[in-house]
Amino acid sequence: MALEDLQHNFLTGRIEDLVKWARRASVWPATFGLACCAIEMMAAGAADYDLSRYGMEVFRNSPRQADLMIVAGRVSQKMAPVLRQVYDQMMEPKWVISMGVCASTGGMFNNYAIVQGVDQIVPVDVYAPGCPPSPETLMHAILTLHEQIRTGEIMKRRESGTPTHLGHDNGNWTPEVPVSVRLGTPK
């Protein structure tokens, strides 16, 4: 039987699965390039690596149109409030990839100027290692995130509580108020 003989094509599925499938296939990243990693992020979007295979080639300049913030590079104390503001402007559902060791832990710059891990300011879903991560590493992080979206829950808002790796009893975690922003002068 040829396809044109079919009168009605239809798929059935649970609405949850469909929503997750659709979300996963069109995650639009916000351009949040900070340092070295931003160059690799641009390379990932360009010819050789071609992020558009995953429905992600549209880097949105306005945070309100973006679903994913790729924090690409080191976050300074001066940048931290700006980063938080951009994150707050993004619509739910939203995800964060911390790209590179500087964004994830401060990296080799353990000093007064750099926020030691962007997870002190915004909740992070996937950490991409490397200094800078090659485009392949970034793509792996993105695919990991896709898998998280596919297997996650759709109705659950981002918890204002603890990120998973800290465990649920950690009382020090208050991401709604940016804790590390303007830490003040180290002594």
Task: Name which of residues 144 to 183 contact other proteins (CB under 8 A).
Answer: 165-166, 181-182
CA distances from 76 to 5, 37, 144, 157, 164 (A): 62, 15, 27, 28, 25
Residues contacting 181, CB < 8 A, separation 6+: 77, 80, 81, 84, 121
The residue type found at 156 is K
For residue 82 the two structure tokens come to 């700006």
Is 139 a residue that touches other proteins (CB under 8 A)? no
Q: Which of 139, 118, 1 is nearest to 57 (CA)?
A: 139
Q: Which of 9, 110, 151, 172 binds other proteins (CB under 8 A)?
A: 110
Q: Is the CB of 48 or the CB of 153 nearer to other proteins?
A: 48
Q: What is the smallest separation between the CB atom of 2 and other proteins, expressed in angstroms?
A: 39
Q: Is the CB of 18 or the CB of 174 nearer to other proteins?
A: 174
Task: Name which of residues 89 to 108 contact other proteins (CB under 8 A).
Answer: 105-106, 108
Is 32 a residue that touches other proteins (CB under 8 A)? yes
Q: Which of 31, 58, 144, 163 binds other proteins (CB under 8 A)?
A: 31
DSSP assignment of 85-114 equals HHHHHSPSS-EEEEESHHHHH-TT--STTB
Q: What is the smallest separation between the CB atom of 133 and other proteins, expressed in angstroms?
A: 10
Q: What is the smallest separation between the CB atom of 12 and other proteins, expressed in angstroms?
A: 40
Q: Which of 18, 19, 124 is nearest to 71 (CA)?
A: 124
Instruction: Find tokens 């949105």 and name the residue.
Output: 60
Q: Which of 93, 134, 161, 173 binds other proteins (CB under 8 A)?
A: 134
Piece of 7-15, 68-76, 121-129, 147-155 that binds other proteins (CB under 8 A)? 68-76
Q: Which of 21, 22, 64, 78 binds other proteins (CB under 8 A)?
A: 78
